[in-house]
Amino acid sequence: MKNPGRRSQVCYNPRMSKGLPKVLLVKYHDTNIRPIPDHAERTLQIFPSLGILYLAAVLREEGFPVEVLDANAENLSAQAFHQRVRDSQARIVGFTSMTAGWPSTIEGAGIVREALPEALVVVGGPQLSIHPELCLSFPQLDLGVCGDGEETLLEVARALAGGTSLEEIPGTVVKIDGEIRKNPERTWHRDIDRYPFPAVDLLDWNLYRALTVQTPFYTMVTTRGCPFKCRFCSQIYAGNTVRFRSPENVVDEIELYVRKHGAREIVFFDETFTLNKARVMRICQLIRERGLVFRFDMRTRVDSLDEEMVLALREAGGQRVHFGIESGAQEILDRMGKQTTVDQVRTAVSLCKKHGFSTRGYFMIGYLGETPQTYAETLKVARELDLDWASFSITTPLPQTHLFDEARDLGLVDEGFWRDYTLLQSPRLQFPIIESEYWDEARLQKMLKRAYSSFYLRPRMVWRHLTGLRGWEGLRNLVGGVRVMLSLQR
């Protein structure tokens, strides 16, 4: 086998395909950073990667043969993944990677290098956009794609097909004579209607599931990015701005899934679905005018919807609203830069429940400045809101965030943590937490378990879920939820 680090310049000739080079787009196994075992995590949810389906659609539209392989959804072993990659005979193999999945991505890229030594191995996604040069230092990888990947990967594929140099393509990180170079960024397109719909037909959607979501279901994004500046979040991979698809374009995609694929439910993964009221009202109007019958769930902020919008969403098929509440203590919300209040939280949740929405809240514990009192306030608010579901997580100071910078300046996290993590040099490949005078990591894990049990093991909540059972799917959701709760208590 040839040395994985053999290439001195980024210029290849297509030898493995007589026509256009085949592209294999991969979602490798996720790295589980939640406090539950892998089998319980898989019970909760398995969603496809919309990012690689958008890439597949653009490449296919230009005539390139494309295959999508979701090793995580198929639960492939390393050996099975190796065989599938080798059988593909792809000339380009592309990975997408979140920060949490980076160690797994490098593992998968190593398998690809063994299976297809001559393939061009490309990586994109948020992790690459945050640490481009560090990510590309691995010999398993040949080229990185920063930001939106549609035009960039298409240009890479065209260059490979024509046997021309890949060294100066905008939006890439390349290796030239042993040196890593980041090329100029590619211009962000404001018009994202320009992209074809994701190539959903390249996946077996029976592999995907989520508790409480009806099948068959499909996932969508109608915006890219987020305009808010929460201190624990980074939007560098999306250009630190927000771009909208037109209502007509959004509903065209919905209609495709409902009419052609029989979708019963659509899950919108926009950071904040209800950012623009006029746009949301138009989407709801078009859904009704076209007679599309399905249900959907969405994510939003407590300050980004009103009663008129809630009514329109409900009439169009809205079923479930996910709120990023984060904390029940106003002083913590202020420190997070959420620009929301606890009163707004109560109003928004109450409004949605009033009109028949199922409500879900997401909370962080152990944020900077958290005390036993603010922690207790969060648990109290979570219970008082009468949410149908709640999710709790231990705060993580992610890279390229104000939170990380603040925690670093206070000496609470090591300045080089994310560098070492990206290079797989950390003593343990787990995310950092913020310890304080009140708790260490072990104590935070106990607090997390207590948060879940205090919310879900109340007689009222148990009774609600027992009496809300509807057929086989309801029973499946209940059993799945019980399995997850039991795993949390171990």
Q: Among 3.30.70.3270, 3.90.1300.10, 3.40.50.280, 3.30.450.90, name the CATH number for the domain at 23-182.
A: 3.40.50.280
- pLDDT band of residue 184 (cuts 50, 70, 90) is very high
- pLDDT band of residue 6 (cuts 50, 70, 90) is very low
Q: Which residue has the higher pLDDT, 288 or 176?
A: 288
For the entire predicted model, the pTM comes to 0.89
> ω before 216 within 30° of 0 (cis)?
yes
- Taking CA atoms, 221 is separated from 51, 70, 267, 315, in Å, by 10, 19, 9, 20
Quick: pLDDT tens for 245-276.
999 999 999 999 999 999 999 999 999 999 99
Second-level CATH architecture of 212-395+433-456: Alpha-Beta Horseshoe (3.80)
Task: Single out the residue of 88, 86, 127, 83 nearest to residue 105, CA to CA.
Answer: 127
Residue-averaged pLDDT of the chain = 89
Task: Report the percent of the chain where pLDDT is more than 90.
Answer: 76
Is residue 9 pLDDT above 80, yes or no? no
Residues in the chain: 490
Task: Single out the residue of 353, 369, 215 nearest to residue 295, CA to CA.
Answer: 215
Quick: pLDDT tens for 358-395.
999 999 999 999 999 999 999 999 999 999 999 999 99
Which residue shows structure tokens 């894990």? 445
Whether residue 395 contacts residue 367, with contact meaning beta carbons closer than 8 Å, is answered with yes
Can you give the residue ranges of every domain in the chain?
23-182, 212-395+433-456, 459-490
- pLDDT band of residue 187 (cuts 50, 70, 90) is confident
- pLDDT band of residue 478 (cuts 50, 70, 90) is low
- Return the H-helix or E-strand segment holding 132: helix 132-135
